[in-house]
Homo-oligomer: A and B are copies of this chain.
Amino acid sequence: MSVLQTTMASTFLPAVGRVAVCGGTHGNELSGVYLVQEMERKRKEKGDSVWPVPVTTVVSNPLAVKECKRYIETDLNRCFSNATLSTPITDSTPYEVRRAQELNALLGPKESAGATDLLCDLHNTTSNLGLTLIHYTTNDWMTLHICKYLQTKITRVPVRVLVLDIPISAAYSLETVSKHGFSIEVGPQPNGVIRADIYEVMKEAVDLTMDWIKIFNSGTVFEGGDIEVFIFQKSIDYPREPSTRELIAAIHPQLQDRDFCLLKRGDPMFLTFSGETVKYEDDETLHPFFINECAYYEKGIAFHLAKKWKLSIPRMQVQK
């Protein structure tokens, strides 16, 4: 494991005032869709004071949710780069690009002082990710403090933090329109299916994030320390038939469901449909994740590989 050294001085940040929880960014990932509905039902019943701060709840891709599809024309969660957000709208602009610009107006604007303070975007995966919190940059201390808090509090599934080290301007996910925040990925759950166990993990993560906001806003000091994170390195595709691009192998049973294990030279990676094992031949030992995620077949990804790092995060408290 490598260590990224950072300053250990105290950091002061403004109170969290504006929060958003979004589900259905992918319309067939149902835990978030039903959790947002449940939050809206609860607000109707008990009023806004059910949360420490006002929460904007959003069904991000309502047309895709209605059709129980990932997206209608293009993957909404790839539409929040500065470039796509500033694309002029024409008659041929895909639905999701229009919707991304609407969401940016509602929850951002991205990289502006008026943006939402904290955004949680709720996702499911067919991979055995447990609870994985995904965000950009290795120095968003508030996000990392919340991740650490969730790691401490949640015990029934592994809680991991994944960093995609991409400049915010180029980062394409919904949570990047806010100042802080993350995607909450919970799996395994098939697309188009809701599992109570997976729903409960997601609900616990959102409830604990609200608890954290309450504690932070009240002036409590969060001590600094180390946090283990996984940093994306590269992607591996399935073996395919050269001319048709059809799959000729599946993830090997010894790799399936073992997200975040260590993959080293010689380990089984794929099993061809005729029964042959394809091994990992790279010298670099890395951690595979998003193993056999349904939506990544069309993107040419069998799994991603990450490196494990330890980040030092500073002591943090609210600015008075």
Contact = CB atoms under 8 A, between A and B. Distances in A.
A27 to B, nearest CB: 13
A195 B247 contact: no
Interface string A251-295: 111001000000000000001011000000000000000001010
A199 B246 contact: no
Contact of A294 (B193, B199, B246): B193
Interface string A144-167: 000000000000000000000000
A188 B217 CA distance: 44
Nearest to A187: B190
A273 B37 contact: yes
Interface in A124-139: 126
Interface string A36-58: 01100110000000000000000
Contacts of A197: 253, 256
11 contacts: A190-B190, A190-B294, A191-B192, A192-B294, A192-B297, A193-B294, A193-B297, A194-B247, A194-B250, A195-B250, A197-B253
